Structure 1
């Protein structure tokens, strides 16, 4: 939507295994071509069998043909593919065929282990092969877009030339949030509400957040923890939440009603555990929380440290430490109103000036023009 605001004509092609209700949609004036997909085999965090993953590879050929048909119709000046290589390889081949620039966007090294546990030699081999495949696509691309410095450094260390890498940070739609955050405006409450909004996976650390809140709540009974989200940890988190009636597990929330979740919470907590993935991926939810004028607490993993500057636009604690999280929660709830306002204003200014979709759209537009001219 913001890309159209800066003068770009955008056409989107959704990847296979992404559920859709039609083959073609127009949303906010943008054309969306829907690829063929298998409803029983959609994108998810659940680990799939080796056989299932091998079978998926064969769909690259049909996806290549789908993209080719759309290129003939739309005649794009630039092909921009989002990792993983499943999208990257067909786009790379077609960019060469039709002699247009190819941009590859990498927002995470998705294949890297997310948990500190031993894996089989086969799993380690698959991880290395997938990583090398991603690096191959990046090396062949005209330009590689990454979302933070940590991710850029990992990619450069893997042999991708730094001069073809462009850093475009995660951003949020501040225009839309400004409209929504006044709806159902938060009223005075007699309790402080901590919350988490997002995907429920092991590396997000929601189990640790629940443990920390249980300790905090004993000393501060006028407090509540509200958890919104779904994922492979959903059942486990739901069970952990049942041990305290001051913890509300809300489950999945409609994306169009996320503003209601933010309006129900005072302090957003992102307690990610430290691993290769969390050190290289910057989450969106802290930025959205800042845009909604919420206080933010995050663990000091690489991806969060790039967004949250301690005491300036949020607060950091040592990742994996329940004790430090409880300490940080207590510190934040004891801040005076003047200090709370300073941090909220600092966070809001940071998002509006540096992390908005409109800023990013302008950067993309300039990059595309440079590639076309070259």
Structure 2
């Protein structure tokens, strides 16, 4: 079986998107399949038309000339479709596997129909909801409605559809998509990258002034939907109950300046610490310091429908996990068993839940064991990738008939 993955972007860019792609491709190679990826114009400038990164082959698409909004997206799709067509000629795939956003699906559909190949469309989040979540779009706007309509159209045109969670599947069924053509390929953890428990780095703790702290942390991108402002607002309530509680925020993003200002204005400013962005290879050092990884996402369509990757990575690292009680988290976390859930948008309630967890150290080891076992059993990419096999074979056989 030869599979060509059609991607918005990939390594060497670092994102949850590119790491999920890496995990899928590595696991498929381990299963004996021949795989390659072709990335769209949004990968950015590249030194070569094709390159091998971490043992994976990627073909690149040159960006078209700049145009006005609307025309620019159409030019991207056309350039991407031509590049996919040329890669099909070189790689000779049996199936095309497109990954969201919808511009990727549009380009894949053109190339697939030209070449008579079956194609699968995998959705990791709805593009229109992601835009609302990061503040670049508005729910219900004309652009939002148009993007949603395009998504629905190309889901129906695809030969098969994959989604990362039940929330996305249920939403598509509600739009009239046949549930029989939708498979769930849940977020998983590449145990090669996150399967080793990081040791505590005492030198780093001293460097950060956190030697004996009860440490809460968040590692990732600072977007509004992540709810980090609520976590900062919870800290005065928490410190009142647990005087050694500190918060470590690792990363950066659009909300960083506002979050730093909120932390500076907090009555417990000395308990809130920012590291800025850190090199990817250094992230494990910070995982090893943090007692509880906190994911305080706000409630909105994006967070109710989409499951994040970070809590799974934390569970694989045997870190305790606490998260807001939104739909995406409920698909991953069983309250009181693999993690703690608290009401979204309520700092005082968040603080009470975190204080209770900090005060119950006797149950930590059992919870770590249970959460790690869940990831190994149900969210390990080496096993997850087998879900694609029957769908791929069905599509290839159907096309042959």
Tell me, yes or no, if structure 1 residue 103 matches structure 2 residue 120: yes
CA distance in 2, matches of 1:310, 1:222: 25
After the TM superposition, list the runs of 4 or more consecutive aligned residues in structure 1 that deviate by more than 3 angstroms.
50-54, 113-117, 182-189
- Indicate whether 1:32 and 2:32 are aligned: no
Q: Does 1:352 align with 2:369?
A: no
- Report what 1:269 is aligned to: 294
| Correspondence for 2:280 | 255
Alpha-carbon contact 1:8-1:365 (below 8 Å) kept: no
Preserved CA contact (<8 Å) 1:81 1:103: yes
Matched, 1:175 2:192: yes
**Distance in 2 of aligned mates of 1:212 and 1:184:** 27
Question: What are the Cα deviations for residues 54-112 of structure 1, in whole angstroms up to 9, with x where unaligned?
Answer: 42332211111111111110011110111112110110121122122100001111203
Match of 2:105 in 1: 88
1:231 aligns with 2:253: yes
Deviation at 1:247, TM superposition (A): 1.1
Measured in 2, the distance between the counterparts of 1:37 and 1:263 equals: 40
Whether 1:367 aligns to 2:385 is no
Secondary structure of residue in 2 paired with 1:17: helix
Greater alpha carbon shift after TM alignment, 139-148 vs 173-182? 173-182
1:281 aligns with 2:299: no
Give me the whole-angstrom Cα distance separating, in 2, the residues matched to 1:128 and 1:174: 39
Equivalent runs, 1:1-374 vs 2, <5 Å? 1-19=26-44, 21-23=46-48, 24-37=50-63, 51-52=68-69, 54-112=71-129, 114=132, 124-179=141-196, 181-182=198-199, 184=201, 190-243=212-265, 244-337=269-362, 339-374=363-398
Q: TM-score, normalised by structure 2?
A: 0.84
Length, aligned pairs only: 362
SS in 1 for 2:262: helix
CA, structure 1 residues 80+311, in 2 after alignment: closer, same or farther (shift >3 Å)? same
Where in structure 1 are there 5+ consecutive unaligned residues? 42-49
Give the Cα separation in 2 of the matches to 1:196 and 1:169.
22
Aligned-pair RMSD on alpha carbons? Answer: 2.5
Query: Separation in 2 of the partners of 1:286 and 1:230?
Result: 18
Q: Aligned equivalents of 1:142 and 1:52: distance in 2?
A: 30
Shift of 1:218: 3.2
**Cα distance in 2, alignment partners of residues 371 and 55 from structure 1:** 33
Q: 1:287 to 1:103 in 2, by over 3 A?
A: same
Q: CA deviation at 1:37?
A: 3.8
